[in-house]
Every structure is written in C-alpha cells, then in structure tokens.
C-alpha cells in the first residue's frame, strides 16, 4: 500500500461508520480522499462527490478503493472489481480468439454465469492457452457488468503485483459461506481477516476468498486441510465474535502443531495450459 492509499484509508476510518444506512442516504463524501478511481460494490452508487445508499446496510471499505454496503441479504450481485471463485460449466467458440469459458457464480446470485475468454489468463497466447474442464474451479475478477449483456471476467491485471488469479487445484476444499462472512474475511481490521493473517503467518496454506460466497482452501495434506475447513466453518458460526474467533484460531494452531503424521493429498491436477501445434 503506497502513501496515498494509506492516507485515504486513514481518512475513511476517521469518518463515522458502523451505522445502518437507508436507501437515499449519503454514506460517504469523496472529498476526503485523493483517489478518483473507485470500485463500487453492491448497495452504493456515485452522485457528484458522494456515495449514496441504494439499499439498507452498513458501509464497508476494502483497500485500495472498493466501497459496498454490508447487508443481511445473501444474494450476490456481481460488481466490477469483485474477486470470485467460479466453476467452469463449458467451453464455447470455434476460433481461438473467440473461445471462452462459461463460469458459474453459484445459486445465490441474480446472474448465475459469466464469460471468461480463453486468452484472459496471464501468459496465455494462441499457441499456449488454458485447458480447463467442466467442474474446474477458477479464481477470477469481474471485469465488466452490463444491464443486458453477460458478466465479463478476467484472470489478468495491468498491475504486475496482482497476478494471483487463475485455475485452482482440484484437490483443494471448497467452503460455501454467507456473503457477510466472506466480506468480513476481506475487510482489514475484522476478526476474520486477522484470523487469516495470523494463521497464514504460522501455518502454510493457500486460499481464495470469493465475494460470491465460495472459499477455496488447500494445504496439501488431508488432516490439516480438514482442520482448516473446520476453522472457517467455526469462524463463520462465531458471527464476528472477536474473543471466540481468537479462541478458535488458537485451538487450530495448537492442533496443527501436534498433528503428527499427515497424509499428502494426491494432486492429479493437470497444468492449466496446453501446447497447441
């Protein structure tokens, strides 16, 4: 995070928050921050230099510039800039430049599928491109949404530091969570985000948290992967209780430290690209 982002984050946290907003309320004034490139999630729209609520909820902020309203509604509405965990449904198109994957968001969304071009992966070319199959998981970002057209997805970014999207190992565990839980997992300062950071500093694992309510987890070993799955399940059931989540985190770290022999997960995942003659 650069200096401007740090200043913006500090300014945002100084503004009053944690109160329920109603449709039409001004939830945030953009005069207090320097950035003008915003990603607006569900529940907010921009009018002049203000963000306006379009539903009931509590304003949340995710660096560097994403604003959304946290609501009790568990229906996912795709928004530009969202990271999601999708399931490949099928591949369509004849010519390479026209081929794309249909990607499923889940049943808890008003728009169930999106379009992911076959060349929208880091390093993909006409001769060296992904070969995903039905049922494969992919971590991608919502590039564009339109009223009538399909949701456009991508696994690339102009920022070279943001190259973590792409196909996910088939041997990982997929946890389905409420949208409020995954948003807290991605919100700095929340108990859930602190849990992920603390566990990651002491125990190696891979994860992909999708704003569509899917969380992919991988450790490479059977027992520890099951324990990691249970950690996220118990953290969601804690419903934001800081002390309870700290207790759950400590118990997980203690159990993994004394786990003993663990069995490697047989990973038969094929590399995501295929040479084409």
Q: Which two tokens stand for residue 33?
A: 């921050």
Q: What is the pLDDT of residues 185-199, one digit of tens each?
A: 988 889 999 999 999
Q: What is the pLDDT of residues 84-93, one digit of tens each?
A: 999 999 988 7
Among candidate residues 98, 95, 166, 104, the one with its CA nearest the CA of residue 135 = 104
pLDDT attached to residue 3? 53
Distance CA 242, CA 239 (A): 9
Q: Which two tokens stand for residue 143?
A: 């590039």
pLDDT attached to residue 73? 63
pLDDT attached to residue 201? 93
**What is the residue whose two structure tokens read 């963000």?**
51
18: left (phi over 0), alpha (psi -120 to 50) or beta: left
Low-confidence ranges of the chain (pLDDT < 70): 1-18, 32-37, 64, 71-74, 96-97, 108-111, 158-163, 267-277
Count of beta carbons in the 10 Å neighbourhood of residue 271: 8
Q: What is the pTM of this model?
A: 0.76
pLDDT attached to residue 205? 93
pLDDT attached to residue 150? 85
User: 3-state class of 230 per DSSP?
Assistant: helix
> Is the sign of the CA dihedral 27, 30, 34, 40 positive or negative?
positive
pLDDT attached to residue 116? 93
197's CB contacts (< 8 A; 6+ apart) are none
pLDDT attached to residue 9? 53
pLDDT attached to residue 253? 94
Q: Give the Cα-Cα-Cα angle 214, 220, 221 (nearest 5 degrees).
A: 105
Distance CA 273, CA 123 (A): 9
DSSP 7: H
**What is the residue whose two structure tokens read 């945030």?**
28
pLDDT attached to residue 13? 52
64 preceded by cis ω (within 30°)?
yes
């Amino acid at each position: 995070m650069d200096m401007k982002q740090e200043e913006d984050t500090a300014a945002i946290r100084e503004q009053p928050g944690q109160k329920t907003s109603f449709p039409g309320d001004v939830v945030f004034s953009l005069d207090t921050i320097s950035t003008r490139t915003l990603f607006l999630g569900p529940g907010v729209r921009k009018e002049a230099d203000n963000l306006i609520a379009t539903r009931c909820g509590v304003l949340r902020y995710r660096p560097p510039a994403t604003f959304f309203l946290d609501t009790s509604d568990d229906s996912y509405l795709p928004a530009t800039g969202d990271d999601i965990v999708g399931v490949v449904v099928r591949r369509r198109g004849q010519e390479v430049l026209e081929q794309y994957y249909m990607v499923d968001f889940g049943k808890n969304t008003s728009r169930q599928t999106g379009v992911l071009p076959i060349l929208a992966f880091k390093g993909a070319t006409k001769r060296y491109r992904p070969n995903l199959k039905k049922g494969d998981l992919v971590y991608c970002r919502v590039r564009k949404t339109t009223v009538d057209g399909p949701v456009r997805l991508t696994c690339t970014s102009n920022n070279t530091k943001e190259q973590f999207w792409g196909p996910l190992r088939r041997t990982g565990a997929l946890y389905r969570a409420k949208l409020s839980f995954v948003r807290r997992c991605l919100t700095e300062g929340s108990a859930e985000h602190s849990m992920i950071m603390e566990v990651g500093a002491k125990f190696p694992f891979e994860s992909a948290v999708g704003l569509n309510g899917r969380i992919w987890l991988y450790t490479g070993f059977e027992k520890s992967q099951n324990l990691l799955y249970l950690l996220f399940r118990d953290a969601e059931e804690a419903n934001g209780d800081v002390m309870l989540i700290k207790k759950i985190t400590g118990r997980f770290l203690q159990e993994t430290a004394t786990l003993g022999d663990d069995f490697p997960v047989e990973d038969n995942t094929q590399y995501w690209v295929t040479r084409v003659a």
